[in-house]
Amino acid sequence: MNKTNEKRDVFVAIADPTRRKLIRILANTDELPLHELTPHFHMGRTAISKHLMILREANLVTNRKSGRETKYRLNPEPLQEVRDWLSFYEQFWSERAAILKNMLEE
């Protein structure tokens, strides 16, 4: 990401399985500090922090300071872009399945 404060692409942010798992964990809770997120992965806090930074740059995660720790929360709004993109393919495959069903019934 460059220094002009451009937002990271949401598709790039969710491309990594670790970041998708972070999103899933945060979706099931209000907010969590880093030390509670780290045990879900086979990597250290520094690596998880880097993944969280990418999610923050894509606006998928927000954070707030609480004493000495930072707590992270999912912001699901940018996922709407992914859902909108996927909806085209959902319709595409539904139409193809209907065509195949008609062909098999003939």
Cα 29 to its chain centre, rounded Å, is 14
Q: CATH number for the domain including 45?
A: 1.10.10.10
Strands 32-33 and 69-74: antiparallel
Please report whether residue 71 resides in a domain: yes
Query: pLDDT tens-digit profile of 39-92?
Result: 999 999 999 999 999 999 999 999 999 999 999 999 999 999 999 998 888 887
Please give the residue range of the domain that contains residue 42: 10-77
pTM of the model: 0.79
Please report whether residue 35 resides in a domain: yes
Please report whether residue 93 resides in a domain: no
